[in-house]
């Protein structure tokens, strides 16, 4: 099995009529499957930019990036999309749910893109939602869900997919302590089961679980350390 994620000299620039913005500069790192990695730094330091590159939601301006042994900087858009579907799951602060769709349909959607038969994906989605205490909300529309319920639906989508790379951007920022602990603990369990979880967070509940910490400052890699602070 090819190991995790490697980046060599990765950077990202954004240009507009008004200015050129250097969001990320010369980041090199190596992350392995089975790690819970927390990305830290002040607002505007490049955390979300790094997550977008690692999650194949954006392309680096310079540098090389491998995921599961695949040189993704060389892939076409179609190749990147196939790798995203096969290997990557996402959990964002707003859960990233499709509005006006039922909870169970949100969980099923990524499985449909993978070509999972309807009966199998329905059973998988129901099991993931029940595991997170949402058996009574399977058919609830997303706009009727509380913030904690929305985030648990987003987490259920990951449980149903079982991706090897999980990208999280402030996944507990809008949650109370109980839901924050539930989400953080389940992400940690997924790492223990072999996934690579990369999570940008200011939340002490998440940070205390870190097996590795990446700290960014002004778009540059400041430190990489093992364990919580």
pLDDT digits (tens, 9 = 90+) for 117-134: 999 999 999 999 999 999
Angle subtended by helix axes 147-161 and 103-113, to nearest 10: 30
Q: What is the mean pLDDT of residues 126-144?
A: 93
Helix (H, G, I), strand (E, B) or coil at 93: coil
How many domains would you assign to the chain?
A: 1
Q: What is the pTM (predicted TM-score) of this model? A: 0.92
Alpha-carbon separation of residue 111 from 8, 107, 124, 162, 163 (angstroms): 32, 8, 9, 10, 11
Q: Phi-psi category of 44—alpha, beta or left, where left has phi over 0 and alpha has psi -120 to 50?
A: left
Beta strands in the chain (DSSP E): 5-15, 20-31, 36-40, 62-67, 70-71, 88-92, 165-169, 196-200, 212-217, 220-226
User: 27: closest CA among 86, 35, 197, 41?
Assistant: 41
Spatial strand order in the sheet of 220-226: 70-71, 62-67, 5-15, 20-31, 220-226, 212-217, 36-40, 196-200, 165-169, 88-92
pLDDT > 70 fraction of the chain, expressed in percent and rounded: 99
pLDDT of residue 167 exceeding 90, the answer is: yes
Longest alpha-carbon distance in the chain: 52
Neighbouring-strand partners of residue 14? 21
> Confidence band (pLDDT; 50, 70, 90) for 2?
low
Please report which helix (H) or strand (E) contains residue 191, including its range: helix 177-192
Query: Residue 114's pLDDT is what?
Result: 87
Boundaries of domain holding 70: 5-226
DSSP 171: T
> Confidence band (pLDDT; 50, 70, 90) for 95?
confident
pLDDT digits (tens, 9 = 90+) for 4-62: 999 999 999 988 777 788 899 999 999 999 999 999 999 889 999 999 999 999 999 99
CATH number for the domain harbouring residue 97: 3.40.50.300
pLDDT digits (tens, 9 = 90+) for 145-156: 998 899 999 999
Query: Residue 1's pLDDT is what?
Result: 46
Q: How far apart are CA 27 and CA 38, in angstroms?
A: 15
pLDDT of residue 100 exceeding 90, the answer is: no
pLDDT of residue 186 exceeding 90, the answer is: yes
């Amino acid at each position: 099995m090819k190991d995790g994620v490697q980046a060599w000299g990765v950077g990202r620039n954004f240009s507009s009529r008004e200015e050129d913005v250097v969001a990320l500069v010369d980041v090199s790192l190596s992350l392995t499957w089975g790690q819970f990695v927390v990305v830290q730094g002040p607002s505007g330091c490049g955390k979300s930019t790094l997550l977008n590159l690692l999650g194949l939601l954006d392309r680096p301006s310079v540098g090389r990036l491998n995921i599961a042994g695949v040189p993704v900087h060389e892939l076409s858009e179609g190749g990147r999309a196939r790798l995203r579907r096969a290997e990557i799951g996402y959990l964002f602060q707003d859960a990233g749910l499709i509005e006006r769709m039922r909870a169970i349909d949100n969980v099923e959607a990524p499985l449909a893109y993978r070509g999972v038969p309807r009966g199998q994906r329905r059973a998988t989605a129901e099991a993931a939602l029940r595991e997170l205490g949402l058996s009574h909300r399977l058919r609830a529309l997303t706009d009727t869900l509380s913030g904690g319920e929305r985030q648990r639906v987003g987490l259920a989508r990951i449980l149903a997919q079982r991706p090897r790379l999980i990208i999280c951007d402030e996944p507990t920022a809008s949650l109370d302590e109980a839901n924050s602990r539930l989400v953080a603990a389940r992400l940690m369990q997924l790492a223990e089961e072999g996934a690579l979880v990369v999570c940008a967070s200011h939340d002490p509940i998440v940070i205390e679980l870190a097996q590795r910490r990446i700290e960014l400052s002004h778009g540059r890699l400041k430190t990489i350390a093992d364990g919580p602070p």
